[in-house]
Amino acid sequence: MLGSVADGVERSLDPRSITVRRIVGAITTAAIGGVTLIALVVRLIASRPTRGDVVLLLLAWVALVAAIAVLSWLWPPLSFRHAFWRIDASTMRIRRGVAWRSVVSIPRSRVQHTDVRQGPVERAFGLATLVVHTAGTEHASIGLSGVAHETALAIRDHLIDVQA
């Protein structure tokens, strides 16, 4: 199992991560929509608006929520297409970013410790987030979310194993 993650081949994230991120996006959209709607209603009740104002504000609210919803539906596959990770004998490399791209290269000898985290949605889909901690200042912790749980565990074992 260890040999299989550290083969120097660049891999995509787990495709299920698109679904996970869409679900998280939907929840976020609903939360933002709900809060803004409540705020809007309270504001409207307090200020006795005309019918035109009400319609206009509600339309603006619908447009905002729709924009967020569309974005959180379209963005996950886009960012999935630009996210890769690769592990070879000496380093772990994470490449991602749609418009602003970044490559982070973490030498295995600099890994201080690692976390494997699972949120409720991730757990339902068998995915996990791997967090690698280094002694660095800016990159003190680097997260890789959207990999299968067993893959995250394998990477963790690999990183820690060579450390010892």
Partner 1 sequence: MSRPDDDAGWRRLHPLSLLFRIGSTARRLLLPALALLFVSRGQGYELWLAVMFVPAGIASIVSYLSYRYRLGEDELVIRQGIVTRNERHVPYGRIQNIDLVQNLLQRWLGVAEARFETAGGEEPEAVMRVLSLAELASVRECVFREARPIAAGPDPGTPAEPARATESLYRAGLPQLALLGLTSNRGLAVVAAAFGALWQLEPLGYDPQSLVRAIARVDPSRAHLPPGPWATALVAGLGFLVVVLALKLLSVAWTIVRLYGFALDARGADFSARYGLLTRIAATVPQQRIQLLSVRRGPLQRWLGQASVQIETAGRGGGGGGEGAGTEVERLWLAPWIDDRALPGLVARALPGVDLESAAWQPLAARAGRRILRRGLAITLAVGIGPAIWLGPKVLLALVPLVLLAVVHARLWTRHAAYALLPDAVLWKSGWWTRRTSVVPYGKIQVVGLGQTPFDRRHRMASLSVDTAGAGHVGHSFELPYLDEAAAHALLGRLAEETSVRAFRW
Residues in touch with partner 1 (CB under 8 A): 90-91, 93, 97, 99-110, 134-139, 142
Cβ 133 to partner 1, closest distance in Å?
Answer: 10
Element (H, E) at 151: helix 149-163
CB neighbours of residue 107 within 10 Å:
10
Backbone phi and psi for residue 114, each to the nearest 5 degrees, phi listed first: -135, 150
Which CB sits closer to partner 1, 50 or 109?
109
Least distance to partner 1, CB of residue 142, Å: 7
Q: Which is nearer to partner 1, 20 or 106 (CB)?
A: 106
Residue with smaller CB distance to partner 1, 96 or 149: 96
Q: Which is nearer to partner 1, 79 or 91 (CB)?
A: 91
Amino acid 63 reads A
Residue burial 10-45, b: 16+ Cβ < 10 Å; e: rest: eeebbebbbbbbbbbbeeebeeebeeeeeeeeeeee
CB atoms within 10 A of CB 52: 8
Minimum gap (Å) between residue 104 Cβ and partner 1: 5
Nearest approach, Cβ of 52 to partner 1 (angstroms)?
Answer: 32
